[in-house]
Amino acid sequence: MKYKMIEHDETQASEILEKHQKFSQWQSLSPWSMLSFSFGTAKAILSNGYAIIPIVFAGWKNGFNLQLGLIAALIMMSLLSVFAFIQWRKYRFKLNEQQLNIKRGLLFTRKDEIPFNKIQNIRFEQPFYFKPLKLGTLVIETAGSKDDEAHLAALNADDAELIKQQLLQLTNTSPRSINPNNEASFNDKHIVDIDSADTNAQLTSSKNKPVIKRNLKQLIQFGFYQNNLIWLAVIAGPILGQVNWEDIAEMPLIQQFWNSVVSFSGESIALQVASGVLIFITIYCLFSLISILAAVLKYYPYRLDKRQQTLQRSGGVISHQQDALATKRVQLLHFSQPVLARIFGVWTLYLKQVKGQEVEQKTAQHMLIPSIKAAEIAPVLDKIPELAGGSTSIPKRYQNIALAWFTRRGFIAFLPAIILTAIEGITVLTEITWLIALAVMGLTFLRYKQWGYVIENDVVWQHSGLFSRNWKRVPFSKVQHVSITQTLAQKEKGFAYITLGLASGSLTLPYIKQQDAHFIAEQAMARTKINPNNWI
């Protein structure tokens, strides 16, 4: 066996060991954590209270009492401060060899014991108010939990890194490997196995070479095509109802703009439609600035690293974040391509995890890779072999589901129109009903054309969408249970529904060939029989 001489900093190793031993005793948080608790509580109140914005706006329009408003604000700040002080005084944590222990509470003490092997995500957050102090917060999330299991707020950045490594059970900084009392491990110069040294060198090398990085231009693209108009409609709708549009329409600037549109389009219907579309696109682009800014502030500079069996994503301009996710927790890969993303030829890759609290946002989103081109997908998955599953490229074609799926749904839309026409005859209302039915049938047909599947190596792909495109790739080894259902008509024609149950939820393939459904079920159950512990 080959050996070589390696020098270690014994003092540094002793300090690391001392910190590991310190965390084995009950620890209190820094007083600065009160700031984090206050901001966190205020953020939760505001994020869950967006629906009252129209009420507040309407109240302001009808008269606002400044004195009462200031009193209410002072009371709220006082309550937040008292609550934060109690949380800080009663919050304690410690780590042993296999779990994280936390206790908190004033009147009723709550004690949580979180085994390391149940931890799904660890997020290191460094808000703007902690950056000058070099402090941060560790957010620990477990599989299936509704809320975050633990917030270790206002930790020293170095301590947070040591705790994160211990929680993730990363071996290169475990106390056992840095024991200064071990003569064989720590002297001024000592002998180590060269294979171990090479392994550490590979870990260091992989840490320096990220799986993928995203630059400013790519994040701007991501913000543009991920723009979401739904929440704007929820908030702005009631507010816009309070606006006096007659006064706005009489403004000189608006009048001048409208006259320019009329003079440009004239009596041409095509030009009028084109002007309307142009105005809509302009409004969308202006609104996209919000989405673009949010994407840049949250993700720039985006970097995804793989460290042993853990994926770590870092980024954030104002509030820096470092998310850690064990690769074994990833259940399926979801490639999403909204309509606008097709212009740029890019996808968003979501790493869907065990259902529960997710790394990105309250079970709604997952760790993601933004603005990834199809040609980049294979190199990325090659660097994460645990996710490759023998298939690293998006399929170019897919097997369509049976036409019967469309015929059973597309023509149902005409049923209300037929009934109304039989009762009322041909009227303006019935004509509108027929047009609506025709539109619904067209949309149903578009959705049918997007439904499909591909069976490839050790995975099954599902293709779906309407105007956007979605590919979901499920490894057979992640399937927990399979359900095949058939009506009598489906059985006669040789079709079936198959539902694949995963730890992240279920995935359905409707109206596929019966033999394909049974083949998928057999492949999934065969993997489970070989290794029943491979789901999460």
Ramachandran quadrant class, 425 (left: phi over 0; alpha: psi -120 to 50; beta: rest): left
Place of tokens 């996808």: 347
Place of tokens 């816009």: 240
> Whole-angstrom Cα distance, residue 533 to residue 535?
6
Q: How confident is the model at residue 10 (pLDDT cuts 50, 70, 90)?
A: low
Q: For a pLDDT cut of 70, what percent of the chain falls above it?
A: 73
As a whole number, mean pLDDT of residues 112-133 equals 85
**Whole-number average pLDDT of the chain:** 78
**CA distances (Å), 402 to each of 460, 493, 522, in order?**
18, 10, 22
What pLDDT score was predicted for residue 360? 40
Q: Is 390 exposed, middle or buried (0-12, 13-18, 19+ CB in 10 A)?
A: exposed
What pLDDT score was predicted for residue 472? 95
Which of the 8 DSSP states describes residue 108? Answer: S
Q: In sequence order, which residues have a C-beta less than 8 Å from that of residue 409 and are 6 or more positions away?
A: 444
Q: How many residues does the chain have?
A: 536
As a whole number, mean pLDDT of residues 105-113 equals 82
Query: Could you give the 3-state DSSP secondary structure of residue 154?
Result: strand
**CA distances (Å), 290 to each of 44, 229, 285, 294, 470, in order?**
21, 11, 9, 6, 25
As a whole number, mean pLDDT of residues 195-205 equals 41
Q: How confident is the model at residue 402 (pLDDT cuts 50, 70, 90)?
A: very high
Q: Is the pLDDT of residue 410 over 70?
A: yes
Q: How confident is the model at residue 229 (pLDDT cuts 50, 70, 90)?
A: low
**CA distances (Å), 360 to each of 202, 279, 350, 354, in order?**
29, 34, 10, 13
As a whole number, mean pLDDT of residues 64-75 equals 75
Q: Is the pLDDT of residue 501 over 50?
A: yes
Q: How confident is the model at residue 196 (pLDDT cuts 50, 70, 90)?
A: very low
Per-residue model confidence as pLDDT tens digits over 168-180: 776 544 434 334 3
Q: 125, 141 in Cβ contact below 8 A?
A: no
Q: How confident is the model at residue 450 (pLDDT cuts 50, 70, 90)?
A: very high
Q: Is the pLDDT of residue 13 over 60?
A: no
Q: Is the pLDDT of residue 406 over 70?
A: yes
Q: Is the pLDDT of residue 254 over 80?
A: no
Q: Is the pLDDT of residue 135 over 50?
A: yes
Q: Please state which of the ranges 125-129, 179-183, 446-450, 478-482 shows the lowest mean pLDDT.
A: 179-183
What pLDDT score was predicted for residue 416? 86
Q: 150, 112 in Cβ contact below 8 A?
A: yes
Q: Is the pLDDT of residue 238 over 80?
A: no
What pLDDT score was predicted for residue 15? 57
> Whole-angstrom Cα distance, residue 101 to residue 457?
42
Query: Could you give the 3-state DSSP secondary structure of residue 486?
Result: coil
What pLDDT score was predicted for residue 365? 52
Per-residue model confidence as pLDDT tens digits over 301-360: 999 999 888 899 999 988 888 888 888 888 889 999 998 899 899 999 999 887 644 444
The enclosing H or E element of 264 equals: helix 252-265
What pLDDT score was predicted for residue 300? 92
What pLDDT score was predicted for residue 174? 41
